[in-house]
Amino acid sequence: MAVVTLHGLIERSIDGLLPPYIQKLAGAYREQYATYQPADAKYLQMHKLHLLGVRPEEEKFLTEEFLRETTFTATEEVLRDRLKGFKDAGYNQFVVQLIPGHEDAIEDWARLFAKV
Amino acid sequence: MEFGIALFSNVDAWKTVKRAEELGFSHAWFYDSQLLAPDIFISMALAAEHSSKIKLASGVVIPTNRIAPVCADAFATLNKLAPGRIIFGVGTGFTGRNTMGMGPMKLSAMREYIRVVYGLLKGETIEWEFEGERKKIRFLNPEFGMINLTDKIPLHISAFAPKARKMTAEIGDGWITFSASTDRAAHEVGEMAKACREVGRDPKTLYTTAFALGCVLKPGESAASPRRVREPRRRRVRWRWSRCMD
């Protein structure tokens, strides 16, 4: 999701006020994006592994702060409180994405959801 | 609050859906991300065949990926496999269109697409514009029982901006958003409720769903601690970030 956020910032599909450090990350990613090939279809390189994994040249952008800010990543205790926030806000459903090759994470999520 | 999973469409996804059903998840949502992932409807059909209770939803169909009659056909066929368990999730297309160098489609075109799909699913004869001409179309042989137009297929719309929220309030059974932040999610559902009231709709009648991506960390585990996993059989190194993959 963190990398998806970066892709979205490049493609301007993600609006809204973002913290300055994310804007700075986006600026740096934009500079990197300018080198992607082919030159007339840079999106092809950028979207390789989109929602599947992280390309080596993207790893440097994934700081602890960025991951915590843009993904639903934390310990069970913290996530349980955040989920209660979604429930209190009135959401009928909370959906978590499972990544190919890591479907066993469903067991972690099931254990967490049972406590909400 | 119900809990669902969202999956990359693929021919093995049904195994995860089956496990999700066993664990009590209520919904399984499938991405319509051509060229990134395998076909959504093949994946949903396999999941329908191997499950009995869990709801199966497109999360979300991109209208420009297929003409409306084909989309209606796919959903009517899925509804035959899993009566009453199918949800038509739709959006203007970010990932699927971005990967082909395009931005999202026009909201007005999506609304028209929805009109055609649902007109057909209701068994109506409707007018459809294609290649510059308007033609009357309808399902020709629903009485043969090869498709299901009887059980309702709810419409859930992915909407992040005011006009899209207004459209959702006017015609949607459900609304989908993406948010990892509780504060932002609360703000967005508030905006969606406001959009409902502005069109004279009780917000409680709209089913609201939040998608999120993330990872349950073990105590003391960092969100950004890398581990290298070597797979001898594949003879390559796969990067793994604390089991948290983006």
Phi, psi angles (nearest 5°) of residue B81:
-70, -40
Supply the mean pLDDT for chain B. Answer: 90
Asked if A38 has any chain B CB less than 8 Å from its own CB, the reply is no
Put simply, the answer to whether B214 touches A63 (Cβ < 8 Å) is no
- Whether the ipTM is more than 0.85: the answer is yes
pLDDT tens digits along B99-133: 999 999 999 999 999 999 999 999 999 999 999 99
- Quote the CA–CA distance of B109 and A42 in Å, as a whole number: 27
Q: Show the domain range for B88.
A: 4-245
What's B221's domain CATH number?
3.20.20.30
Asked if B94 has any chain A CB less than 8 Å from its own CB, the reply is yes
Mean pLDDT by 10 residues, chain A (116 residues): 73 65 86 94 92 87 84 93 96 95 94 95
- Quote the CA–CA distance of B214 and B212 in Å, as a whole number: 7
Residue B180: which of A72, A75, A110 has the nearest Cβ? A72
- Quote the CA–CA distance of B96 and B31 in Å, as a whole number: 9
pLDDT tens digits along B5-59: 999 999 999 999 999 999 999 999 999 999 999 999 999 999 999 999 999 999 9
Put simply, the answer to whether B8 touches A51 (Cβ < 8 Å) is yes
Q: Find residues 69-108 of chain A whose CB sits inside 8 Å of chain B.
A: 69-76, 79, 82-83, 85-87, 89-103, 105-108
Residue A91: which of B36, B161, B208 has the nearest Cβ? B208
Number of domains forming the structure of chain B: 1
Measured CA angle at B34 (ends B28, B39), to 5 deg: 55
